[in-house]
Structure 1
Amino acid sequence: MWFKPVFYAFVLVLAWSATVLPAAASEGGADHPLVDRHPEAEIDSYSKQGYVEYRQLVGPLGVREGCCDIEEENTPLNRIQGELTRIVYSVPKRLSALELFESHRQSLESASYEILFQCVDSACGEFRDYQMLNGELNVVYGLSYLAARSADGSTHVALAFVPESSSSDSWEYAVDVAESRPLVNRIRVLAPERSVSTPESAPEPLESDVAGSSDHPLFPRHPSASIHHYSSADFEQFRQLLGPIHGKGCCELDLEKTRSTTAEGKLTRILYRLPAAVTRREIMDSYQQSLNDSGYEILFQCEDDACGEYLQFDLLDSEVDPVTGFHYIAAASADGRIRLSIAFPEPNSDAYNEFGLSVLEERDMQNRITVLSPDALKKALDDTGKAVLGGIFFEHDSAALMPSSDQALEQVAAMMERHPELKIYVVGHTDNRGELDYNRELSERRAQAVADRLIGAFNIAQRRLEGFGVASLAPQSTNASEDGQAKNRRVELVAQ
């Protein structure tokens, strides 16, 4: 065989009863109780995740087409759901990969583990891509790999030995131990018919939560979660994604190709933060199970590339910013009265995870906005040089005018017909949330949308209208409160 048995006095023992702890474990890390380390090894990194889907390589890595993941169709993989412990060790250069490989292989076999796959360098296929399965490793110069499974199939072990360049004084090897276990669901979802005003259904806010925040009463949090961002509006439009995302360039969704639905009512958005050990798989599987158990219908769910151009999801919810991966669930009550989206981007921090929950409770708007008459608009322009145009509504984070805006635009058109000499600037304003450059561009698109609607639908001459956006540079109120932010999101008419 291509590996000759090698025996050393320091043979690493792998046994079900192994409990030896290292003498020099790194802070927060320890050997897995089933896999002891070489006596000269030191822990470089350690992570333990309570519930995750682990991909164990059991054949050569296939050639990939993209940049960011392995080619799964051509790569044999075992998928194990359960607890994953991942440890990266550093060892002196004088210890060979063959030495450690053979020691672990013999120990696995002596503990009745089944060897599923073993390889060295080119026999591993596209071995440099292994770091896409274990992001802690930098696989450049070579790879020795060993995959095994316990006799009862409950525990899977993968060992990857990665020698460094000849100039390095040490090299690394990684131990992954995946232990199959069922999901422990710690997320509650209350049935849609439960009154959302029931006080006992919402837990008390935590000290770590942002001020003024709370859970939605129908959707209590995971016990380890804290609220990092919170917003609630009594009446807002909510666009719920129901299919893969298609974008138009960098800053706009292609709504003709992107399947979605819109609803209006009370909208609550919560961004939760979790410890790194609580994984994306645990949260999303828990929500899916709890939603089904409580009578909600799953309308759409996707993961990573199946979500389409998921980097554009922040156009639907600016608090969720996917970068390297994405998992999404859309659901609704049977009567459609309650709609929710759960969005979990791939973590971009080793310290914590974040996910967004959006809940829309359909209801009719209680109109508290006064639409000024043509004479009142003209008087405001004469007295102050400007008039706030009430009754203008846009889709969320978009320049698309809602049909209910036409009532206010009719009054503007009537004023301009009565005063044919009048020319006006249409000026868009935003609150100060988000980047200034983006808000300036959004406010200008919204202002121009109002001008275009007056020109196209109400026959106002184009030379009499011009749109500008000033973002948050001319606030009408403080941006420190939700009420002040709402006042600052407005469209004004300014006399030229």
Structure 2
Amino acid sequence: MHHTFSTHLLRALLLIAATLLTAPAYSGSDADHPLLSRYPGAQVRDFQQVDYETIEVPVRRDAVAANGGFVLTSKVGDVTRHFYELHNVSTLKLYENYHEAVRRSGLAITYTCKLDECGDPSQAQRLGGMVSLTGGVYNDYRKPYFLVAEGKGSKGPVVVAIFIGGYEDDASVQQIVVESEPLETGLITVDASYLTAPPVAARASAATEKHEEDSPLLPRFPGAKLNDVRNTEHETFSLPTAIVDASGKAAMLDLVGDVYQHYYSIEHVSTLKLHENYKAALAKAGFTTLFSCELDRCGTSDQAERLGGLVALRGSVYNDYRKPYYLLAKRDTSNGALYIALFIGGYNDNASVQQVVLNTLPLQTGLVSITADSLGREIAETGKAAVYGIYFDTDLAAIKPTSKPALDAIAGALRAKPDLTFHVVGHTDARGNLAHNLDLSQRRAEAVVAALVKDYHIAPARLAAKGLASYAPVASNDEEAGRARNRRVELVKQ
């Protein structure tokens, strides 16, 4: 009688084990891993699959080890994690079935712990959290079982870690499968023809892009979705050259050039794989790294989030600041220096790339003519005239030499009406701190007055400088085209 019962039990266990080893096609967020299907009746509470990820896997218990008394081993590969929930099934039955399924798969079971062998309740709960993709098992740490197995798979070495715990008549299974394989690089290629194109051709290439297209220099990672793009000719732009400090600021490299910004998102690819592909592509194309940081070296979570925001097209990376990488690279070409900044961050099994390509092409002038006559007519008609040809470096009030044609026109208009006096008003866009922008716009207005007095011998009594920052916009500050119109100097008749 006892023999018959044992035979039936063994057959039942083998039947369930066979079910665990027979997996459906691996696709969708509800799919099982091909190596191990779910226990019958189990529901997927959470799922994650990431290509070429680094993960810490508990591999054995050691009373003197940190991490709740468990030794962690770092594994790199394609990582698949499942969080299954079940009702009215004991943790013992689940463990025996998983143990048998893993054994029959050909994997070698390298470690197991059962019940009290997994430590006290708090240690068991912590062990489950190490395996769980959510970082916790909630109440499902009672009557715990844990196993680790290793072997060879189609991709290379395979590691499986399974934690089983329960609470009352509920149970859960936390499962990790790591399939190690060599990193796939060469997925991104820098277009070498863009590096040697003459300035006009390079600009034309960017100007003919559609909204959804990539940079002509640096295309997207395969499978990436383009969320946003912005191309601006001859713009001031600052790129971080260090991590953000405790006050939220970072050392910046102030540049002027054609700016191409892209915001991509990618599913099921690790930030590590993205970073390694971008880094390899830039190195192959002859770029030199000016600054980079990886993971914890990018600072705390808050610091990494702020660092990403400094290069993000929308000013924020939202949740995608986990496992961060930042890279700033430069290459000199016959047409000027090229700068590329990349912030790569992730959240769960999603990642995003904030990409800035800045080409320091020489300024195309002569596109808009400004003359003393045109300024005089505008003042006569409206009482004021906007001047867009006065240039400053980012966050500075020193007038650049390229501003001379505009200053010549202003001086000519003033000489044509020697009896008139004017306010010289500085305006900024709405980005940045208002108090700072008020001070900056005042200093820039004063710099224009000083240049007119010193270089053109305009009587100081005829000019009064005033900075208004963003108080008097002429366009929306939501888009770069509007912000460019708002950054101006105005002559206002007193």
TM normalised by structure 1 equals 0.71
Note closer, same or farther for the CA distance 1:479–1:97 as it changes in structure 2 (3 Å cut).
Answer: closer
Structure 2 match to 1:428: 427
Note closer, same or farther for the CA distance 1:112–1:247 as it changes in structure 2 (3 Å cut).
Answer: closer
User: 1:10·1:39 contact (CA, 8 Å) conserved in 2?
Assistant: no
Note closer, same or farther for the CA distance 1:116–1:404 as it changes in structure 2 (3 Å cut).
Answer: farther
User: 1:57·1:147 contact (CA, 8 Å) conserved in 2?
Assistant: no
Note the 1:279-294 alignment, pairs <5 A.
Answer: 279-294=270-285
1:415-443 deviations in Å (ceiling 9; x for gaps): 9999999574836354xxxxxxxx37657
Note closer, same or farther for the CA distance 1:360–1:177 as it changes in structure 2 (3 Å cut).
Answer: same
**Aligned-partner residue type, residue 343 of structure 1:** F
| Cα deviation, residue 359, structure 1 | 1.2
* Residue of 384, 387, 390 corresponding to 2:388: 390
Note closer, same or farther for the CA distance 1:124–1:412 as it changes in structure 2 (3 Å cut).
Answer: farther
Structure 2 match to 1:89: 84
User: 1:57·1:78 contact (CA, 8 Å) conserved in 2?
Assistant: yes
Q: Secondary structure at the match of 1:31?
A: coil
Note closer, same or farther for the CA distance 1:40–1:10 as it changes in structure 2 (3 Å cut).
Answer: farther
**Aligned-partner residue type, residue 191 of structure 2:** L
1:230 aligns with 2:249: no
**Aligned-partner residue type, residue 266 of structure 1:** D
* Residue of 280, 291, 296 corresponding to 2:287: 296
1:267 aligns with 2:266: no
Structure 2 match to 1:175: 175
Structure 1 match to 2:456: none
User: 1:18·1:33 contact (CA, 8 Å) conserved in 2?
Assistant: no
Note closer, same or farther for the CA distance 1:85–1:97 as it changes in structure 2 (3 Å cut).
Answer: same
Note the 1:314-333 alignment, pairs <5 A.
Answer: 314-319=309-314, 321-322=316-317, 323=319, 324-325=321-322, 326-333=324-331
Note closer, same or farther for the CA distance 1:447–1:39 as it changes in structure 2 (3 Å cut).
Answer: same
Note closer, same or farther for the CA distance 1:329–1:458 as it changes in structure 2 (3 Å cut).
Answer: same
Note the 1:314-393 alignment, pairs <5 A.
Answer: 314-319=309-314, 321-322=316-317, 323=319, 324-325=321-322, 326-333=324-331, 337-347=337-347, 353-368=351-366, 380-381=378-379, 383-393=381-391
Note closer, same or farther for the CA distance 1:247–1:359 as it changes in structure 2 (3 Å cut).
Answer: farther
| Cα deviation, residue 295, structure 1 | 2.5
| Cα deviation, residue 449, structure 1 | 0.7
| Cα deviation, residue 402, structure 1 | 6.0
Q: Secondary structure at the match of 1:333?
A: strand
TM normalised by structure 2 equals 0.71
User: 1:121·1:142 contact (CA, 8 Å) conserved in 2?
Assistant: no
Query: Could you tell me how far apart the structure 1 residues matched to 2:410 and 2:132 are?
Result: 61
Query: Could you tell me how far apart the structure 2 residues matched to 1:232 and 1:458 are?
Result: 33
User: 1:321·1:345 contact (CA, 8 Å) conserved in 2?
Assistant: no
* Residue of 364, 378, 400 corresponding to 1:404: 400
RMSD of the alignment, in Å? 4.9
Structure 1 match to 2:34: 33
Structure 1 match to 2:268: 277
| Cα deviation, residue 55, structure 1 | 2.5
Gaps of 5+ in 2: 1-8, 451-459
1:154 aligns with 2:148: no
User: 2:390·2:399 contact (CA, 8 Å) conserved in 1?
Assistant: no
| Cα deviation, residue 47, structure 1 | 3.2
Query: Could you tell me how far apart the structure 2 residues matched to 1:362 and 1:425 are?
Result: 30
Query: Could you tell me how far apart the structure 2 residues matched to 1:173 and 1:136 are?
Result: 12
Query: Could you tell me how far apart the structure 2 residues matched to 1:282 and 1:155 are?
Result: 19
* Residue of 296, 302, 309 corresponding to 1:305: 296
User: 1:61·1:126 contact (CA, 8 Å) conserved in 2?
Assistant: no
**Aligned-partner residue type, residue 428 of structure 1:** H
Query: Could you tell me how far apart the structure 1 residues matched to 2:211 and 2:30 are?
Result: 37
Query: Could you tell me how far apart the structure 1 residues matched to 2:489 and 2:131 are?
Result: 50
Q: Secondary structure at the match of 1:150?
A: strand
* Residue of 74, 77, 84 corresponding to 2:72: 77
Note closer, same or farther for the CA distance 1:424–1:224 as it changes in structure 2 (3 Å cut).
Answer: same
Query: Could you tell me how far apart the structure 2 residues matched to 1:289 and 1:333 are?
Result: 14
Note closer, same or farther for the CA distance 1:129–1:399 as it changes in structure 2 (3 Å cut).
Answer: farther
* Residue of 163, 167, 170 corresponding to 2:166: 163
Query: Could you tell me how far apart the structure 1 residues matched to 2:485 and 2:245 are?
Result: 32
1:25-46 deviations in Å (ceiling 9; x for gaps): 9964332232243223222333
Note closer, same or farther for the CA distance 1:287–1:148 as it changes in structure 2 (3 Å cut).
Answer: same
Structure 1 or 2, whichever has the larger Rg, is 2
**Aligned-partner residue type, residue 259 of structure 2:** L
| Cα deviation, residue 365, structure 1 | 1.4
User: 2:237·2:255 contact (CA, 8 Å) conserved in 1?
Assistant: yes
Query: Could you tell me how far apart the structure 1 residues matched to 2:379 and 2:435 are?
Result: 21
Query: Could you tell me how far apart the structure 1 residues matched to 2:69 and 2:278 are?
Result: 31
What is the number of equivalent residue pairs in this alignment?
445
- Identity of aligned pairs, percent? 23
Note closer, same or farther for the CA distance 1:318–1:227 as it changes in structure 2 (3 Å cut).
Answer: closer
Gaps of 5+ in 1: 1-6, 63-70, 431-438
Choose between structure 1 and 2: higher helix proportion.
2
Structure 2 match to 1:434: none
User: 1:159·1:175 contact (CA, 8 Å) conserved in 2?
Assistant: yes
